[in-house]
Amino acid sequence: MTEPAGTPPGEAPEAPGEVRTLTRELVATPSHEDETAAGDLLEAWLRTETDATVTRDDHGNVLAARAPDSDPVAPSESAADRPTLALVGHHDVVPPDDSQVVDDDGGEGTEYILEERDDRLYGRGSADMKGSLAALAVAFRDAALPDDGPRLVFASFVGEEVGGEGCRAAIEDGFAPDWAVVGEGSTGYSADGVTDVAVAHKGRRASTLVAHGQAAHASEPEQGDNAVYRAADAVDAVRDLDAPTATVLGHDLAGSVAVTGIEGGDAWNVIPERCEVTIDERTVPGDRADIGRAAGESIDWEVDQDLPPMACRDERFASVALAAARTAHGHANDPLAGDDPAPGATPEHVVKPHATDAGWLADRAGTDCVVCGAAEPGEAHTADESVSLAVLDRCYRIYRGVAETFEGG
CATH of residue 41's domain is 3.40.630.10
**Of 256, 272, 307, the domain-final residue:** 307
**Local structure of residue 6 (DSSP, 8 states):** -
> Could you tell me the residue range of the domain that residue 192 belongs to?
18-202+309-405
Which whole number is the average pLDDT over 311-321?
A: 97
How many of the other CB atoms lie within 10 Å of CB of 75?
A: 20
- Do both 262 and 216 map to the same domain? yes
Helix, strand, coil percent content, the chain, rounded in steps of 5: 30, 25, 45
Question: Are residue 175 and residue 208 in the same domain, yes or no?
Answer: no
- Same-domain status, 291 and 346: no
pLDDT at 9: 41
State whether 224 and 84 are in the same domain. no
Phi, psi of 87 (to 5 degrees): -105, 120
Question: In terms of domains, do 146 and 264 share one?
Answer: no
Q: How far is CA 404 from the centre of its chain?
A: 23
Residue 12 lies in a domain: no
- Does residue 11 sit within a domain? no
Count Cβ atoms below 10 Å from residue 32 Cβ, excluding itself. Answer: 20
Q: What is the pTM of this model?
A: 0.88
Find out whether 276 and 263 touch, Cβ atoms under 8 Å. Answer: yes
What per-residue confidence (pLDDT) applies to 297? 87
Q: One-letter amino acid identity for 249?
A: L
Tell me the pLDDT tens digit for each residue of 175-216: 999 999 999 999 999 999 999 999 999 999 999 999 999 999
Q: Distance between CA atoms of 398 and 385, rounded to whole angstroms?
A: 23
Tell me the pLDDT tens digit for each residue of 246-289: 999 999 999 999 999 999 999 999 999 999 999 999 999 999 99
At residue 106, the pLDDT reads 55
- Estimate to the nearest angstrom the gap between the alpha carbon of 42 and the chain centroid: 18
Quick one: 112 and 143 in the same domain? yes
Q: Which residue out of 18, 35, 128, 160 is catalytically annotated? A: 160
Query: Does a structural domain hold residue 364?
Result: yes
Q: Is 187 within a domain?
A: yes
The answer on 210 and 197 residing in a single domain is: no
The answer, yes or no, to whether residue 364 has pLDDT greater than 90, is yes
195 and 210 share one domain:
no
Q: Which of 35, 92, 314, 376 is catalytic?
A: 92
pLDDT at 360 over 80: yes
User: Tell me, what CATH number does 216's domain have?
Assistant: 3.30.70.360
Domain match, 288 and 321 both: no
Residue 64 in any domain: the answer is yes
Judge if 212 and 68 occupy the same domain: no
* Candidate from 28-32, 302-306, 336-340, 349-353 with smallest mean pLDDT: 336-340
Query: What's the rounded mean pLDDT across residues 139-166?
Result: 94
Domain boundary among 280, 307, 334: 307
**328, pLDDT greater than 50:** yes
User: What is the model's pLDDT at position 72?
Assistant: 77
Question: Is 321 found in the same domain as 298?
Answer: no
The pLDDT score that the predictor gives to residue 334 is 65
Cross-strand pairs, 181:
87, 370
pLDDT at 149: 85
Strand stretches in 57-149, DSSP E:
62-65, 84-90, 115-117, 120-122
pLDDT of residue 109 exceeding 80, the answer is no
Of 284, 307, 330, the one marking the end of a domain is 307
Query: Other C-beta atoms within 10 Å of 261: how many?
Result: 10
Residues 267 and 340 in one domain: no
Instruction: Check if 160 is active-site.
Output: yes
For residue 211, what are the CA distances in angstroms to 194, 205, 263, 346? 47, 19, 10, 51
Strand ranges (E), 265-371? 270-271, 274-283, 299-307, 310-311, 349-352, 368-371
Cross-strand bridge partners of residue 225: 214
**Residue 144: inside a domain:** yes
Active site residue 92: yes
What is the separation of C-alpha 58 from the centre of its chain, rounded to a whole number of angstroms? Answer: 21
Q: How far is CA 358 from the centre of its chain?
A: 6
Q: Torsions phi, psi of 223, nearest 5?
A: -80, -10
Closest CA to 394 of 12, 86, 115: 12
Structural domain includes residue 128 = yes
Query: Which tens digits make up the pLDDT trace of 60-104?
Result: 999 999 875 566 776 666 666 789 999 999 999 999 999 999 865
Task: Provide the number of structural domains found in the chain.
Answer: 2
Looking at the domain assignment, is residue 32 inside a domain?
Answer: yes
